[in-house]
Amino acid sequence: MQATTVSRSVDVPARVSSWLRDVWPPLLTFVVVIALWEGAVRLFQIPLYLLPAPSQILETFLARPGYLLRIGLLTFTNALVGCAIGVTLGCLVAALCVRWRVVADGLVPLAVAASAVPIIALSPLMGIWLGSISPASKIAVVAVMTFFPTLVSVYRGLVSPRADALLLMRSYAAPQRVVFSHLRAPAALPFLFSALRVCATLSMIGAVVAEFFGGPQNALGVYIKTQAGILRTREAWAAILVACLYGLAFYVAVVLAERAAMPWKRGR
Amino acid sequence: MMHTAPIIEFDRVSKVYPSGGGPVTALHDVTLSIAAGEFIALIGPSGCGKSTLMRLIGDLEQPSAGTVRVKAKTPEQARRDRDYGIVFQAPVLYEWRTVRKNVELPLEIMGRPAEQRRERAMSLLRMVGLGDFAQAYPHQLSGGMQQRAAIARALSFSPSILLMDEPFGALDEITRERMQVELLSIWAESEPRPTVIFVTHSIPEAVFLADRVVVMSPRPGRVQRIVTIDLPRPRVFETREAPRFFSLVTEVREALRAVDNGR
């Protein structure tokens, strides 16, 4: 008790300052890049249809934020559902791989290879199988995209405990179920979250790009494609901005969940 | 010291590992009997099979020939009955559990009620001087403190046998000597007092801690000599400065040198 009180009172200001130290370099870089972009567009008088300035994109977004966020939400829902399916299946199959190593021997190298393949290329085929307008085909693309990296990462996490840690369980005569719940699963948690970080990004990309191959009119990918097709670049960029916002929100949610789920990693 | 009936018995035990360059005999024809409540140190050069011997007792490995009996049972049965606590060279604390939760782990697996677990863990943590660190995570502790937590964890379910595989091997000399004194006082306070099998390659450590030092020789691993340590208990810091301590250290050292010459 005493130790935690002491460490807390010392850590809080230290933690805030270390957070600031972590945050300002990327923030500064972001501001500089945006300023350069804005400056270049104005200085070289780049035509609007080629590249609008950040201020114009923001203006376009602010003109009808409700509409853009709403169509974004539709796409984001596909991303979320697909990601949930892919990650859940990835975890389940990883657990099966630990129970039956034969499955792992056959599957894991394949999953590693599949992680390196542009699964997004499956989109048109998913459209044929599940209907190009229906959300099912988008969800399926995202599920397949997130399944493989989750499987690989979580499997590695589940088999990460060292021999001594497993011998300890053996000395307690712990049944396999307990070894899984008390050792393998918690050891895999950091691996799961690093997979989730990747999947958060991947799933938004997957959902938007899948819509390039067809989807309802009020979907973000379709909107970007149509607007770009008629050279309404500002509108396309504003929609891209919305995609970025959702993707970022997803990522931040994962990071927050990670911090909440793994208190022992804090303040390291 | 009076000893009761043997708790651990090795009867002509051998252990052979298959390897690329043909089978390697880690342990050859070992016969050894250990009394309940005894503190046994296993010492010898690398490859003498001292860790193998410890692991055979704990059913972490199985003999190739001969029999090991623990409390008149097979080591496997003894393991299933949770007769062993184990401490490795690395503390092997689970990083996602607080120090207290780590000490509670065996009790949790054995299905003890939460309140009882908590009390037992706290009293052990106070005993090893970690009462203030119950809520800390392992990475916030020094190496010596982590190892103390590992010892508390091994003692949590009051096993009748404590297997320790070079537990202080990774610590600096000063911490190590302090930990040896602490281990003996923890051991003396434990009720019932466990039988300890302590693997080490430090001669003074073996002499300071043990009732008997089992000197082993390599290739193939076998028992070379058993040196009885008649230093009075409780052993304290000053014990290391006693003339009898030095003569016993010399005796063990000579036994180890005989091992070298015999090769």
Instruction: Write the DSSP symbol of residue B237.
Output: G
At B1 the pLDDT is 46
B75 near A CB under 8 A: no
Half-sphere exposure of B3 (CA within 13 A, CB side): 16
At A126 the pLDDT is 87
Q: What are phi and psi of B83, to 5 degrees?
A: -85, -10
Dihedral, CA of residue A241, residue A245, residue A247 and residue A249, to nearest 10: 180
Tell me: the pLDDT tens digits for B201-234?
A: 899 999 999 999 999 998 888 899 999 999 999 9
Q: Of B158, B185, B215, which one is at a domain's C-terminal end?
A: B158
One domain, residues A102 and A222? yes
Examine the pLDDT at B180 and tell me if it is beyond 90: yes
Report ipTM (2 d.p.). 0.87
More reliable by pLDDT, A122 or B1: A122
At B135 the pLDDT is 95
- The answer to whether the Cβ–Cβ distance between B88 and A167 falls below 8 Å is yes
Q: Are A220 and A213 in contact (CB under 8 A)?
A: no
A2 near B CB under 8 A: yes
Min Cα–Cα distance to chain A from B245, Å: 34
At A8 the pLDDT is 47
One domain, residues A29 and A62? no
One domain, residues A127 and A187? yes
Examine the pLDDT at A2 and tell me if it is beyond 50: no
Q: Per the domain annotation, does B153 fall within a domain? A: yes
Q: What are phi and psi of A161, to 5 degrees?
A: -60, 135
- The answer to whether the Cβ–Cβ distance between B109 and A262 falls below 8 Å is no
Q: Are B173 and B240 in contact (CB under 8 A)?
A: no
Q: What is the C-alpha separation between B95 and B138, in angstroms, rounded?
A: 6
Split into its structural domains, chain B has a count of 2
Beta strand spans in chain A (E): none
Q: What is the C-alpha separation between B43 and B223, in angstroms, rounded?
A: 10
Min Cα–Cα distance to chain A from B140, Å: 9
Q: Are A212 and A84 in contact (CB under 8 A)?
A: no
SS3 content of chain B, % helix, strand, coil (to 5): 40, 25, 35
> Structural domain of residue A38, as residue ranges?
1-46
Tell me: the pLDDT tens digits for A188-239?
A: 999 999 999 999 999 999 999 999 988 888 899 999 999 999 999 999 999 9
One domain, residues A11 and A102? no
At B76 the pLDDT is 95
| Domain harbouring B188, CATH code | 3.40.50.300
Examine the pLDDT at A21 and tell me if it is beyond 90: no
Q: Are B165 and B8 in contact (CB under 8 A)?
A: no
B170 near A CB under 8 A: no
Split into its structural domains, chain A has a count of 2
Q: Of B158, B174, B202, which one is at a domain's C-terminal end?
A: B158
Question: What does pLDDT average to over chain A?
Answer: 89
Q: Per the domain annotation, does B1 fall within a domain? A: no
At A206 the pLDDT is 92
A262 near B CB under 8 A: yes
One domain, residues B123 and B163? no
Helices H / strands E in chain B, number of each: 8, 9
Residue recorded with tokens 């050894």:
B32
At B235 the pLDDT is 93
One domain, residues A18 and A107? no
One domain, residues B48 and B114? no
One domain, residues B165 and B244? yes
One domain, residues B51 and B166? yes
Q: Tell me which chain A residue has its CA closest to the CA of residue B98.
A: A264
More reliable by pLDDT, A114 or B71: B71
Q: In what order do the strands lie in the sheet with B65-70?
A: B24-35, B6-17, B65-70
Handedness of CA A61, A65, A67, A72 (dihedral sign): positive
One domain, residues A60 and A25? no
Q: What is the C-alpha separation between B90 and B167, in angstroms, rounded?
A: 7
Q: Per the domain annotation, does B88 fall within a domain? A: no
Tell me: the pLDDT tens digits for B118-139?
A: 999 999 999 888 999 999 999 9
Q: What is the C-alpha separation between A246 and A263, in angstroms, rounded?
A: 26
> If pLDDT is split at 50, 70 and 90, which confidence band does A149 have?
very high
- The answer to whether the Cβ–Cβ distance between A262 and B96 falls below 8 Å is yes
Examine the pLDDT at B262 and tell me if it is beyond 70: no
- The answer to whether the Cβ–Cβ distance between B92 and A172 falls below 8 Å is no
B91 near A CB under 8 A: no
Q: Tell me which chain B residue has its CA closest to the CA of residue A261.
A: B96
Q: What is the C-alpha separation between B196 and B43, in angstroms, rounded?
A: 14
Tell me: the pLDDT tens digits for B11-49?
A: 999 999 888 888 888 899 999 999 999 999 999 988 888
One domain, residues A200 and A162? yes
> If pLDDT is split at 50, 70 and 90, which confidence band does A4 have?
very low
B178 near A CB under 8 A: no
One domain, residues A37 and A69? no
Interface test with A, best of B57, B87, B92 (most A CBs within 10 A): B92
Distances (CA, A) of B56 to A155, B28, B49, B106, B149: 31, 13, 10, 21, 25
One domain, residues A199 and A89? yes
One domain, residues A12 and A78? no
Min Cα–Cα distance to chain A from B108, Å: 10
B137 near A CB under 8 A: yes
Q: Identify the burial level of A192 via C-beta atoms within 10 angstroms of its C-beta, where 0-12 means exposed, 13-18 middle and 19 or more buried.
A: buried
A189 near B CB under 8 A: yes
Q: At what angle do helices A101-115 and A135-158 cross, to 10 degrees?
A: 120
Q: What is the C-alpha separation between B250 and B229, in angstroms, rounded?
A: 12
Tell me: the pLDDT tens digits for B150-176?
A: 999 999 999 999 999 999 988 888 888
Cβ-based contacts of A167 with chain B (< 8 Å) = 60, 86, 88
One domain, residues A40 and A72? no
Examine the pLDDT at A73 and tell me if it is beyond 50: yes
| Domain harbouring A205, CATH code | 1.10.3720.10
> If pLDDT is split at 50, 70 and 90, which confidence band does B4 have?
low
Q: What is the pTM of this model?
A: 0.85
Instruction: Say which of A2, A7, A173 has its CB closest to residue B80.
Output: A173
Instruction: Say which of A165, A172, A182 has its CB closest to residue B82.
Output: A172
Distances (CA, A) of A194 to A132, A244, B151, B214: 31, 20, 33, 49
> If pLDDT is split at 50, 70 and 90, which confidence band does A3 have?
very low
At B104 the pLDDT is 96
- The answer to whether the Cβ–Cβ distance between B86 and A1 falls below 8 Å is no
